[in-house]
Amino acid sequence: MEKRKLGKTGFEVTLIGFGGIPIQRLKDDEALRIIGEAVNQGINFIDTATGYGRSEELIGYGIEKYGRDKFYIATKSPVRDYDGMKKEINKSLKRLKTDVIDLYQLHNVRTEEQYNKVMGKDGALKALKEAKEEGKIKEIGITSHDLHILEKTVDTEEFSTIQFPYNPVERRGEDLFKKAKDLDIGVIVMKPVAGGAIKNVNLSLKFISENENVSVIIPGMDKVDQVIENSKVAKEFTQLTEEEKRIIDKEAKELGSEFCRRCGYCGPCPQGIDIPTQFILEGYYLRYDLEDWAKERYLGIDKKASDCIECGKCEPKCPYDLPIRDMLKRVSENLG
């Protein structure tokens, strides 16, 4: 399987990695079979998070069964403060059944306020740097759906990797990826099939693979055949043919009419609704078979899609002309 260097980490990672979000709903034996197939296919990078239900725990079982040396382990936490992150790191080590985590990431830093918090004197980054000195983690990364946050981040020299959505529909990160590569920062691609919205999975993965600035792609996988099919992209990599380009471009164009790219230009909402988050959670509900998990997180949000008063101030700011008010109504119906 094709491998690429994960930036300054020096890790030689497989082009296709294992996205650990969907396995949280599986039984132990099912999860172990899927992780075992990842080992069989040669996948050596596995990404999870403290917020992905039982994902860390299940991956820990897989690591225990198949061997710690089979994977570079990446996890992440949304905790923003120093004390909270110290606790999270220790919990992750225990759940993953390992003495050291290869990559620990700040998870989904979305706003300037959150960014300033994690980077501050009592922020989560301080805890991660201490954990690195103590040998509990090897490298530090950051994930976000906000392009501007990561554009700031790559100039700080604090992070070895960034993680950002990228696929034929969401292409805003291309310049960022080029800059990251030039700075020897690893690029991890999440949402490679747009949260399950893209049906031509193989073509989407091939499209992403053509970008030499991408280090590793982490499609979420919860079936053995998904592991096998996704692995083929890195095992039998070929450039997209003209016909394949036409097919995937056509699908991307069709999705564009009601697909949120999470750019954030629609905000701020006068009612305080984080609009892109509503659509992210709906995607997990509709396409990841994670109904209960998505609803729980939706109901935990202070300002929800149901709080929309249809003022319409968001829609003129959307560069993709999305019918945001109608889309929020749909979210409220699905999750509310």
Q: Which amino acid belongs to residue 17?
A: G
Q: The pTM is what? A: 0.89
What confidence score (pLDDT) does residue 153 get? Answer: 95
CA distance 286 to 290: 8
User: Three-class SS of residue 121?
Assistant: coil
> Which DSSP state fits 269?
P
Instruction: Give, for 253, the enclosing helix (H) or strand (E).
Output: helix 242-255
CA distance 80 to 109: 9
CA distance 165 to 169: 10
Query: Which residue from 290, 280, 273 is spatially nearest to 259, judged by alpha carbons?
Result: 280
Per-residue pLDDT band at 156 (split at 50, 70, 90): very high
CA distance 106 to 76: 6
Is 256 a residue whose pLDDT tops 80? no
Per-residue pLDDT band at 196 (split at 50, 70, 90): confident
Is 257 a residue whose pLDDT tops 80? no
> Which DSSP state fits 297?
H
User: Looking at the chain, which residues constitute the CATH 3.20.20.100 domain(s)?
Assistant: 3-246
Q: What is the mean pLDDT of the chain?
A: 95
SS (H, E, C) 154-211: CCCCCCCEEEEECCCCCCCCHHHHHHHHHCCCEEEEECCCHHHCCCCHHHHHHHHHCC
Quick: pLDDT tens for 258-305. Answer: 888 888 889 999 999 999 999 999 988 988 889 999 999 999 999 999
Per-residue pLDDT band at 254 (split at 50, 70, 90): confident
CA distance 322 to 278: 14
> Which DSSP state fits 26?
S
Angle between helices 82-95 and 55-66 (to 10 degrees): 40
CA distance 226 to 110: 30
- How long a stretch of residues is the chain? 336
**Distance in Å from the first CA to the final CA of the chain:** 43
Is 68 a residue whose pLDDT tops 80? yes
CA distance 197 to 204: 11
Quick: pLDDT tens for 234-246. Answer: 998 899 999 999 9
Superfamily, domain 3-246: NADP-dependent oxidoreductase domain (3.20.20.100)
